[in-house]
Amino acid sequence: MSRHITMLAVSDMRARRARYLLLVVVIAIGAALMVALSTISIGAKIYVQNQLYQIFPADILVYSNSIDIPYAFVESLRSLPYVQSAEPVVMLTGTLGNKTVTLLGVPLSDIGYFDVELEAGRLPHAGGEAVVDSTLGVSPGRDATIYVYRSSVAPPVELRVHVVGIMSNLLKGFIGPMSLNLVVVPLDWLQQGMGIGDFYNMVFITVSDKSLIQPLAQALKQRYPRAEVYTQQSALSTIDRVFNMLNLFFLVIEAVAFLAGVLTTFTVMSITVRERMGEIALLKATGISGRDIALAFTLEVSSVGLLGGVAGGVAGYFGALGIKDLLTRLGYFFDVPVPFIPSIFALGVVLSLLVALAGALMPVYRAVTLRPLEILR
């Protein structure tokens, strides 16, 4: 690009710096919104997916409202060559003192699968021993009485447990983040105390061949129509659909912001071209081509677009961090990651540049296609 084109662009930007600064701000708003909303959306999706992996670590979960899943069913699952594990669980609701608790019976032989995170004490080794949630405020070495309700009309079953450990989490996050006041006990002891025999109401299934997850889930639904069968894949698909709808809403907001940038650029450049008609005529009369004049205007709006995009991208990222900090300070749970994503930042800069060029296209075209005599007239 020749020197005189650069000088024309720089001199005009200096003469109209307040106008161009306003244009930078308008374009930056669009870029900031895009970067902030996209960053928050991606961070929230990552957080929700991580929570799902923690709450739902198995490929398939079979859950029944009543304790009617037999031992033979679990053994038949384990006999399948593509099933890595099938872990049965009994989950009941009870009371400990004045608190509602979730009583979870897990097999001691496979307790490592449930990934209990201890804060103090140890894992249960025998019947009657329990690990309790830290929210219950019970210390290791204490005895506790839990009343478990089998139905709304039957009297509660009294279970006395000896607390041997305090936990902060279970099954890589399963139920733990929901703060359900968990009490984990040996499965066989709970079955015996409740008189339910070798029956369960929940089974976690992990499959080695992921292509067989859906066929197995369909077969389980047909075999146990009263039970609920959930797959991790369907849960992830639901998350994707929810965030796609959210991103569509964000896209409308971003489009409006960028459209405002296009209209503002069009207005500013139209006024600028109108004010410089005499100068354009003089430049053409002295032999400067319309192409060089167009390049000078393009250099101006490109500089404005790039500056607005960079400023907006930086403001959008730190704005997302600020929103997270503000919501956290106000007591709202918003512990989502706010990652810096170079591709999103670059997209914001590119779109800002395109917005500036799109808004300037018609005014610049009008300026370079007019003849000097027509301009002077």
What is the value of pTM for the model shown?
0.65
Nearest to 298 by CA among 193, 368, 212: 368
DSSP 8-state secondary structure symbol assigned to residue 46: H
Spatial CA neighbour of 103 closest among 124, 86, 85, 72: 124
CA distances from 177 to 133, 140, 171 (A): 11, 22, 11
HSE (side-chain half, CA atoms, 13 Å) at 358: 14
Q: What DSSP element (H or E) covers 161?
A: strand 157-169
The two three-digit tokens of residue 318, written as one number: 């730190």
The whole-angstrom distance between residue 18's C-alpha and the CA centroid of its chain comes to 39
What is the C-alpha to C-alpha distance for residues 225 and 195, in angstroms, rounded to an integer? 25
Residue 166's nearest CA partner among 188, 190, 125, 138 is 138
- How far apart (Å, rounded) are the C-alpha atoms in residues 199 and 107? 13
Residue 120 to residue 308: CA distance in whole angstroms: 54
For 145, 238, 316, 334, the CA distances from 243, given in Å and listed in that order, are 44, 9, 20, 16
What is the full per-residue pLDDT of the chain (377 aa) written as tens digits?
A: 466 667 766 666 676 778 888 888 999 999 999 999 999 888 888 888 777 776 667 889 898 888 889 999 899 999 999 999 899 999 898 999 888 898 989 998 887 777 777 888 898 989 899 999 888 888 899 999 999 987 667 788 999 999 999 987 655 444 444 456 889 999 999 999 999 999 999 999 999 888 898 999 998 888 888 888 888 888 788 888 888 898 899 889 889 988 988 898 888 888 877 777 777 777 777 777 777 777 877 888 888 889 999 999 999 999 988 888 887 777 665 667 888 999 999 999 999 999 888 888 888 787 777 676 655 56
List, in order, residues 6 or more apart from 293 with CB less than 8 Å away: 8, 280, 283, 284, 367, 368
User: Which amino acid would we find at residue 173?
Assistant: G
Helices (H), the chain: 3-15, 17-55, 71-78, 187-194, 213-223, 232-275, 277-285, 290-329, 342-369, 372-376
* Spatial CA neighbour of 88 closest among 68, 102, 116: 68
Positive or negative, the Cα torsion across 318, 323, 329, 334? negative
CA distances 64 to 37, 221, 281, 309, Å, are 40, 11, 83, 54
The tokens describing 365, both together, are 């075209």
